[in-house]
Structure 1
Amino acid sequence: MGFLDRIEERLGAAELRVASYRMLGLRRGATVVDVACGAGHAAAELAAKGLKVTGVDADPEAVEAARERAPGAVFHVAWSDDLPLEDESMDGYRALRLFHLLEDPVPTVAEARRVLRPGGRIVLGGQDYGFLMIDSSDQDLTDVVLLGLESRTVVPRAARSLRDLLLDARFTDVEVAVHTEVVTDHAQLAQQLKSAAAAAVEKALITQQDATSWLSEQSRRGRRDRFLAALPTILVSASAPTA
C-alpha cells in the first residue's frame, strides 16, 4: 500500500486524476464507479465533489485502505470483468492503471458498457511503457533497460489500444488526451529504475555491469540536478451507446 500511496501522492498523479474528472464531466449527485480504485484517492476526491461513488478493486488490502480514506463511498472486492453492480446503474465509469494488467481487456470493457446507462461517460487511462523517456548519456542502453521494465508488465503497451477497444464496443464521441508527468527528482523514481535494471539483467538484455553503470549515471544525474524523465499517460473518454 505504501507503493500505491507514493504513486498517487505525486503532484503529477494528482493532476492526472483531475484531468480524468474533467473528461468524465459528471454533475453533483451522479453515480460513478472507480474500477481498480487502489487506496481510494480518486474515490475520496469524487465523493468530495458530491458524486455517489462506488470503488472496486481485486485487492482486499487496497479496498480496506480505500474505505478509510473515503468513508462516504461504497467499496467492493471484485474483478473488473465481474462488477457487483446492476445493469445501467452508473452515470460514469473510471479505470486508470488497469489495462496493462489484463491479458484480455474485452470482457472488462463489455462489463463497463453493461453497468453504464445509455449516454453515460467512461474514462480509461494508463501509461504506455513504450513511450517512457529517461535522459542518459547512453540512450541505447536506456532503451534496453526500459524493455526490461516492460517485461515486468502483462501488456506494457495496452494504453495505445484503449481507443480501439471503445470503438469496437460501439462507444461514441471517443476522445484521446495525453497527460505527461515530468520528473526531475531522481529520488521519486529511484526504486523503479532499480527494478527496470534488474528486470533487464534477468531477461539477459544487459549485463549486471551495464545495470550498475546505468544506475550510477542516473544517481549522479540526480545529485547534479540533471535527472529527467517523462511519463506519458493516455486518457480516453467516450459515451456509452444509446441504442
Structure 2
Amino acid sequence: MSFLDRIEETPGAGALRATSYELLGLSPGDTVVDVACGAGHAVAELVASGLKVIGVDPDPDAIAAARARSTDGMFHVARSDELPLEDESVDGYRAARLFHLLADPLPTLIEAQRVLRPGGRIVLVGQDYGFLLLDGTDQDLTDVVLLGLESRTPAPRAARSYRDLLLDQGFRDPEVAVHNEVVTDYAQLTRQLESAATAAVEKALITRQDADEWLADQADRGRHDRFLAILPTLLVAATR
C-alpha cells in the first residue's frame, strides 16, 4: 500500500485525478463506482465533491486503507469483471491503472456497461508503457530497458486502445485527453528503474552488467540534475 500511496501523492497525480473527475461530468448526488480504487484517494475526493461513491478493489488491504481514508464511501472487495452492483445502478464509472493488468479487457467492459445507467459516463485512465520517455547516456540501451518494464504487465500498451474498446462495446462520443507528468527527481522513480532493469535481464534483453551500468548512469544523472522522465497518461471518456 505504501507504493500505491506514493503514486497517488506524486506532484501530478492530483491534477490527473481532477481531470478524470471533469471528464465524468457528474453532479452532486450522482452515484459513481471507482473500480480498482486502491488506497481510496479518488474515492475520498469524489465523496468530498458531493457524490455517492463506491470503491471496488480485489485487494482486501487496499480496501482497508480506502475505508480508513473515507468513512463516507461504500466499499467492496471484488474483481472488475464481477462487480457486486445492480444493473444500471450508477451514473459514472471510473477505472485508473487497471487495464494494463488485464489479459482480456472484455469481461470488465461488459460489467461497466451493465452497471452504468443509459447516459452514464465512463472514464478509463492509464499509462501506455510504450509511450514512456526516459533520457539516458546510452539511449539505445535505455529503450531496451523500457521494454523490460513493459514485460512486467499483461497488457502494457492497453491505454492506446481505450477509445477502440469503448466504441466496440457500444459506448458513444468518446473524448481523449493526455496528461503528461515530467519527473526530474531520480528518487521518485528509483524503484521502477530497478524493476525495469531487472526485468530486462530476466527477459535476456540485456546482461546483468548492462543493467548495473545503466542503473549507475541513471543514478549519476540524478546526482547531477540530469534525470528526465516524461510519463504520459491517457484518459478516455465516453457515454453509455
TM-score (norm 1): 0.98
Q: How does 1:49-198 map to 2 (within 5 A)?
A: 49-198=49-198
Point out where structure 2 has 5 or more consecutive residues left out of the alignment. none
Counterpart residue number, 2:39: 39
Shift of 1:47: 0.2
User: Is residue 201 of structure 2 the alignment partner of residue 238 of structure 1?
Assistant: no
* SS at 1:11 equivalent: coil
Tell me the amino acid that sits aligned with residue 226 of structure 2. Answer: R
* SS at 1:201 equivalent: helix
C-alpha distance in 2 between matches for 1:13 and 1:105: 24
Shift of 1:174: 0.5
Counterpart residue number, 2:226: 226
C-alpha distance in 2 between matches for 1:22 and 1:184: 27
C-alpha distance in 1 between matches for 2:134 and 2:101: 23
C-alpha distance in 2 between matches for 1:184 and 1:30: 39
Shift of 1:14: 1.1
Coordinate RMSD, CA, aligned: 0.6
Deviations 1:160-209 (A, max 9, x none): 11111100011111011111111000000011100100110111100111
Counterpart residue number, 2:200: 200
* SS at 2:123 equivalent: strand
Tell me the amino acid that sits aligned with residue 197 of structure 1. Answer: A
Tell me the amino acid that sits aligned with residue 162 of structure 2. Answer: L
C-alpha distance in 1 between matches for 2:49 and 2:148: 40
C-alpha distance in 1 between matches for 2:103 and 2:215: 31
C-alpha distance in 1 between matches for 2:184 and 2:70: 31
Tell me the amino acid that sits aligned with residue 109 of structure 2. Answer: V
Tell me the amino acid that sits aligned with residue 110 of structure 2. Answer: A
C-alpha distance in 2 between matches for 1:82 and 1:162: 20
Give 4+ residue runs of structure 1 displaced > 4 Å after superposition. Answer: none
Shift of 1:11: 1.2
C-alpha distance in 2 between matches for 1:73 and 1:180: 29
Tell me the amino acid that sits aligned with residue 103 of structure 1. Answer: A
Tell me the amino acid that sits aligned with residue 19 of structure 1. Answer: T
Shift of 1:21: 0.5
